[in-house]
Chain A
């Protein structure tokens, strides 16, 4: 399936894992950004990645819990950067070019490098 194919958003795209063109795991499709309006075709504009994107999908109290556990960062992935959508979403560029590893990199500052086999 390519980004232009018809897609059942909820069942087929939301919550799918995301991989970049280097095969690196980049996270999960947490929400989508649509364009269009009354009388105009609805088009998928971008994928939203990161727990901040849960806001539209769950109650406020649950968001507080999520923020406590995982923060509220959102990264926007334009649809032009999506290569294929199947049981996972594959990007056609490195994830870091889209700012997808920022939280992981930030957490990395807390972990000493050494001592592991």
Chain B
């Protein structure tokens, strides 16, 4: 059984790579700036959010008026947004993903699971540039280079696991219940406010703290902030626990996906 899975995985690996590549370049096909958008978009976001939150809402974080305070706040915000963007893309694209590949799925026998995996990998790739941007700003304005940056790489693993679980569940469910698409839209907005994107995780009231950690965004956001903004390294323990929980979650969602998979062609 295990060897069969291994053999199959090996066989479909080239397909996965091609699908990741295709979906990656699809975003930029036909545009003038092409790949440049990968860099321009995060920078634009960074500027917009920093401006709105520091100049208009007049939010203060850290030590008040100086430039460093503003940069710190921008970094703080951007760490949260990067993680949030990863999960929000996964949820909203995940809903449509299998439905949009209808003609392929109902006519060809191929491992449908490469599609969710491809989506997750691409969403992960999309976080690379923002993270590099954060790292650069952090080197210049915060503490200079620190070996703690390596943890950001480590973090991508549990994020992939939890992200993939979400895509598996959302994409399979939306085939049977198209309502998922509408629910997901609302849920993404809800997620933005229950995650510590615009506020530090310390501002959560004590009585909600255990509920708060159910949210898969909390640990990545917290860790990212302590990697690039804090002085102390992120809590490795919490990342490991997070990995572990994501893995269990992934296994459950795999079972869920594979069970429903038999009905995809009938229901699409």
Bind each other: no
A residues sitting closer than 8 Å to B (CB atoms) are: none
